[in-house]
Amino acid sequence: MSHRHALLLMILVTLLWSTAGVVTRHLEAARSFEVTFWRSAFNALSLIVLLRWLRGPALWGQLLRAPRLVWLSGACWAAMFTAFMVAITMASVATVLVTMALGPLLTALFSRLFLHHRLPARTWAAIGMATLGIAWMFGQEADGAGLAGVLVALLVPLAAATNWTLLQRATHGNADPDALAPGQDMLPAVLIGALISALLTLPLAWPFQASAHDLGLLGFLGLCQLAIPCLLVVRLSRVLPAPEIALLGQLEVIFGVLWAWLGAGEAPAGATLIGGATLLAALAGNEILALRQRRPQ
Q: What is the DSSP string of 238-270?
A: TTS-HHHHHHHTTHHHHHHHHHHHHHH--PPPH
pLDDT at 291: 67
Query: Splitting the chain (297 residues) into consecutive groups of 10 residues, what average pLDDT does each group show?
Result: 88 92 89 91 93 81 81 92 88 80 79 80 82 72 62 89 81 54 70 94 91 94 91 85 77 86 78 74 77 63
Sequence letter at residue 183: G
Would you give the distance in Å from CA 150 to the centre of its chain?
17
Residue 21: which domain range? 3-294
Q: Identify the CA nearest to 223 among candidates 70, 16, 12.
A: 16
> Where does residue 105 fall: left (phi above 0), alpha (psi -120 to 50 degrees), or beta otherwise?
alpha
Mutual angle of helices 3-17 and 270-294, in 10-degree steps:
160
Domain count, the chain: 1
pLDDT at 19: 92
Q: What is the DSSP string of 49-104?
A: HHHHHHHGGGHHHHHHT--HHHHHHHHHHHHHHHHHHHHHTTS-HHHHHHHHTTHH
**Do the Cβ atoms of 267 and 26 come closer than 8 Å?**
no
Q: Does the pTM of the predicted model rise above 0.85? A: no
pLDDT at 183: 52
pLDDT at 40: 94
- Give how far Cα 144 sits from Cα of 95, 97, 138, 139, 151, Å: 9, 15, 11, 10, 14
pLDDT at 176: 53
Sequence letter at residue 57: P
Q: Identify the CA nearest to 279 among candidates 128, 121, 63, 96.
A: 128
pLDDT at 296: 56
